[in-house]
Amino acid sequence: MAVLTVDVTSEDIHYPLKIEKGLLNHLAEEIKSVYKNKKIAIVTDAHVQALYGERVVEQLEAAGYELTVIVLEPGEQSKSLENLQHIFSELIAFGLSRSDLMLALGGGVIGDLAGFAAASYLRGIAFVQIPTTLLAQVDSSVGGKVAIDLPEGKNLVGAFYHPKLVLIDPNVLETLSDSTFNDGMAEVIKYGCIHDHDFFEQLKQYQSRAEVMAEIESVIADCCTIKRDLVQSDERDTSERMLLNFGHTIGHAIEAYYRYEKYTHGQAISIGMVAMNRLTEALGISAEGSTEIIETILKQYALPTELAEAADYQKILPLIKNDKKNIENALFIVVLDAIGKSRTMAAPVDFFAPLLKGNEV
């Protein structure tokens, strides 16, 4: 088992990320290591419940826990205020107290939503993340960003609230659809872009999902290590942590513009990374030819690199004003000087203007 620890010493927060094939089969002993009471509320979605719900419930019941399982509709639209209210009502009906536990079993949608419910229910209860998508195993379960979406923008209401434990079992990735696996690859590729050229080159060598899966534990550990280090140096997202937002300024606007229906998070940030780098390459900030290299690797994972409707670029731009990286009226963006080397910068007022012409830079 690979164990990484997240230490946010300024907040006295320390928790392990455990990565092991088959970890889901000895779940109860892992939960026992961080939780001594009886009641656990499991939040999951219908796909994950059908695949893994019984296995999780059987083990926890056999270990003597008293459970309730809250099952939500799969998909981004579930990361909503309505579902937050629904979860609170279920927790109250179950009589979950401040000293009890919530377990987030699912992808990034479940982790973000249940995590925010845990952060705010009774002003905060303990929670454990069991991420079941590649995206959640390499990114969303680590670092304590929890949130819901609003029609006005992604993750606009949330908190920094860390789990007590993150249990990552790569075996559960076997049941992902190709498209959901590829969503996770968009964030994996992001890590190469922002931080590690060698890692990016390694990703270029993989010819298929099976080849990635053959080395999945180290791929997950490499991504979690990059994220853990950035989170530890800037938990509240005011400096280095913002680098994790490469491609997200445009990506989040795309998701919101299409009401969280047309593009998944992974697909939207794939388009966002390419659009952002194309703009900065044209300005001479990013290395010549880097956009094409990024586009090529994203296409290897069947990720979109352009909006289906080029005219829509101009329609998504107004949503960028709601980006959380903005300071007063200044837009803050993440740019690559080269693949593997990123920084933040204040964007000039007309920075996004070329997109208004339909993505012709």
Ligand X SMILES: O=C(O)C(=O)C[C@@H](O)[C@H](O)[C@H](O)COP(=O)(O)O
CB burial of residue 110 (10 Å; 0-12, 13-18, 19+): buried
Choosing among ligand X, ligand NAD, none, which partner's interface includes residue 30 (Cβ < 5 to 8 Å by kind)?
none
Is 18 a binder of ligand X (CB under 6 A)? Answer: no
Choosing among ligand NAD, ligand X, none, which partner's interface includes residue 245 (Cβ < 5 to 8 Å by kind)?
ligand X
- Quote the CA–CA distance of 310 and 307 in Å, as a whole number: 6
Judged by the rule CB under 6 A, the positions of this chain that interact with ligand NAD are 45, 47-48, 51, 74-76, 79, 106-110, 112, 132-133, 135-136, 139-140, 143, 145, 154-155, 172, 175-176, 180, 183, 264-266
Is 108 marked within a binding site? yes
Candidates 143, 192, 266, 272; binder of ligand X (CB under 6 A) is 143
CB of 322 to ligand X, least distance (A): 10
Is 270 a binder of ligand X (CB under 6 A)? Answer: no
Secondary element (H or E) of residue 134: helix 134-135
DSSP, collapsed to helix, strand or coil, labels residue 255 as helix
CB within 8 Å of 69: residues ≥ 6 apart: 41, 42, 44, 49, 53, 57
Q: Give the other-Cβ count within 10 Å of 357's Cβ.
A: 11
Candidates 79, 164, 209, 241; binder of ligand X (CB under 6 A) is 241
Is 305 marked within a binding site? no
The count of chain residues that interact with ligand X, using the rule CB under 6 A, is 12
Q: Give the other-Cβ count within 10 Å of 293's Cβ.
A: 15
Choosing among ligand NAD, ligand X, none, which partner's interface includes residue 132 (Cβ < 5 to 8 Å by kind)?
ligand NAD
Asked if 297 contacts 204 with a C-beta cutoff of 8 angstroms, the reply is: yes
Is 68 marked within a binding site? no
Please give the structure tokens belonging to residue 199: 């890692």
Q: Smaller CB distance to ligand NAD: residue 41 or 231?
A: 231
Choosing among ligand X, ligand NAD, none, which partner's interface includes residue 175 (Cβ < 5 to 8 Å by kind)?
ligand NAD
Q: With the C-alpha atoms ordered 39, 142, 109, 211, is the resulting torsion angle positive or negative? A: negative
Asked if 158 contacts 116 with a C-beta cutoff of 8 angstroms, the reply is: yes
Residue (of 335, 358, 357, 320) closest to 243 by Cα position = 335
Is 187 a binder of ligand X (CB under 6 A)? Answer: yes
Is 155 a binder of ligand X (CB under 6 A)? Answer: yes
Amino acid symbol at 183: D
Kindly give the interhelix angle for 178-195 and 216-233, rounded to the nearest 10 degrees: 50
Choosing among ligand X, ligand NAD, none, which partner's interface includes residue 163 (Cβ < 5 to 8 Å by kind)?
none
Candidates 139, 169, 183, 222; binder of ligand X (CB under 6 A) is 139
CB of 95 to ligand NAD, least distance (A): 28
Candidates 114, 324, 334, 339; binder of ligand X (CB under 6 A) is 324
Q: What is the binding site for ligand X (CB under 6 A)?
A: 139, 143, 145, 154-155, 187, 237, 241, 244-245, 248, 324
Which residues belong to the annotated binding site for Zn(2+)?
187, 248, 265
